[in-house]
Amino acid sequence: MTRLFSCLAAMLAFSVAAAAAEPGLVVVATDPHSEPESVTVAPDGSLILGSASKPVIYRAAKGDTQARVFIDASSEGAVTFLGVLADAPTNTLWACQIMGAGNNRHSTLRSFDLSTGAAKIRWALPGEINLCNDFTLGPDHALYVSDTFARRVYRLRPGAQEGELLIEDRTLDGIDGIAFLDGVLYVNNVISNNLYRIPLDGSGKAGVPEQIWPDRPIKGPDGMRAAHGKLFLAENHNGRASMITVNGDQATVTTVLDGLSQPTAIEPSGDMLWVGDRGSDKAIAIQLPR
């Protein structure tokens, strides 16, 4: 049995090394057991990663292969970070700061200076139990925040210090990734493995979520971003990063990267597509599919 495990470990190490050596593949590592849950790219090309197991946010300069601590929130206690998002026009880094464990979690939306890491605003999400998970910037320049445990989306308007409830719906019990594609708001559900469109009227009021039906199952949909008319999705239950083409209520899903440990984050940037692999403490970049 020991020999078998040794052989399997050697094979795994070889496959990881081979992947890292593959032409066009870029790998940025974080500290061991840091579990980078979300990634974003700053205007200078640096990669920013939130740790789901440590009270830190990492940053790797463009071209570096090792991320270093950028923001240390250990003075806040036993906190961790889920979503991170670079907001270049306002020089802001948004982050979901989490306190507690399991279903007894409390979340604070934090913002920091994107250049220096200096703290800006904080907003504690409403309710006894909540989970600030991810966010996206809308065409109205507002920040849209997903709350996984409270099945809600909040909107933080430009210049606001706290969010307002956009929608609360039972289909969003497990909401995770959130993105605007061509001005339309899409969310996924990491529990039900579903994808939804949330219609917004001219005043910004949300309608009933509309389910999108993919041509193959998506498993553990997590981080989600949009670029070039496509949605890009990290599937944490099957080790894949996927590209989604939406056509009405139907969608075509194309696997763009496979064999990952636990991909939870994705970020198109320029001609690259970054995938955060939480289970292997790294982020991997490939050529952005079109």
Domains of the chain plus CATH, in order, are 24-278 (2.120.10.30)
Those residues whose C-beta lies under 8 Å from the C-beta of residue 280, and which sit 6 or more positions away, are: 16, 260, 261, 262
- Asked whether the predicted pLDDT for residue 223 surpasses 80, the reply is yes
Question: In this predicted structure, what is the pLDDT of residue 26?
Answer: 86
- Measured CA to CA, the distance from residue 184 to residue 170 in angstroms comes to 20
- Asked whether the predicted pLDDT for residue 17 surpasses 80, the reply is no
Q: Using an 8 Å Cβ cutoff, are 119 and 97 in contact? A: no
- Asked whether the predicted pLDDT for residue 5 surpasses 70, the reply is no
Question: Interior CA angle at 156 toward 218 and 53, to 5°?
Answer: 55
Residues making up the chain, counted from first to last: 290
Percent of the chain with pLDDT over 90: 88
> How crowded is the C-beta side of 169, counted as CA atoms within 13 Å?
20
Higher pLDDT, 203 or 12: 203
The two tokens of residue 153 are 């989306």
- Measured CA to CA, the distance from residue 194 to residue 218 in angstroms comes to 7
Instruction: Enumerate the β-bridge partners of residue 276.
Output: 265, 283
Question: In this predicted structure, what is the pLDDT of residue 32?
Answer: 97
- Asked whether the predicted pLDDT for residue 62 surpasses 80, the reply is yes
Those residues whose C-beta lies under 8 Å from the C-beta of residue 285, and which sit 6 or more positions away, are: 25, 26, 27, 28, 272, 273, 274, 275
The one-letter amino acid code at 78 reads A
Those residues whose C-beta lies under 8 Å from the C-beta of residue 167, and which sit 6 or more positions away, are: 152, 153, 198, 206, 209
Position 11 confidence tier, pLDDT thresholds 50, 70, 90? very low
Mean pLDDT of the chain: 92
> Other C-beta atoms within 10 Å of 226: how many?
18
Question: Interior CA angle at 223 toward 222 and 227, to 5°?
Answer: 135
Q: What is the mean pLDDT of residues 130-154?
A: 98
**pTM of the complete model:** 0.91
Quickly count helices (H) and strands (E) in the chain: 1, 24
Position 49 confidence tier, pLDDT thresholds 50, 70, 90? very high
- Asked whether the predicted pLDDT for residue 196 surpasses 80, the reply is yes
> How crowded is the C-beta side of 144, counted as CA atoms within 13 Å?
27
Of 9, 14, 41, 17, whose CA–CA distance to 268 is shortest?
41
Q: Using an 8 Å Cβ cutoff, are 48 and 42 in contact? A: yes
Those residues whose C-beta lies under 8 Å from the C-beta of residue 206, and which sit 6 or more positions away, are: 153, 166, 167, 185, 198, 199, 200
- Asked whether the predicted pLDDT for residue 8 surpasses 70, the reply is no
Question: In this predicted structure, what is the pLDDT of residue 24?
Answer: 55
Q: What is the mean pLDDT of residues 202-229?
A: 98
- Asked whether the predicted pLDDT for residue 2 surpasses 70, the reply is no
Position 115 confidence tier, pLDDT thresholds 50, 70, 90? very high
Question: In this predicted structure, what is the pLDDT of residue 101?
Answer: 76
Question: In this predicted structure, what is the pLDDT of residue 104?
Answer: 75
DSSP state of 204: -
The one-letter amino acid code at 233 reads L
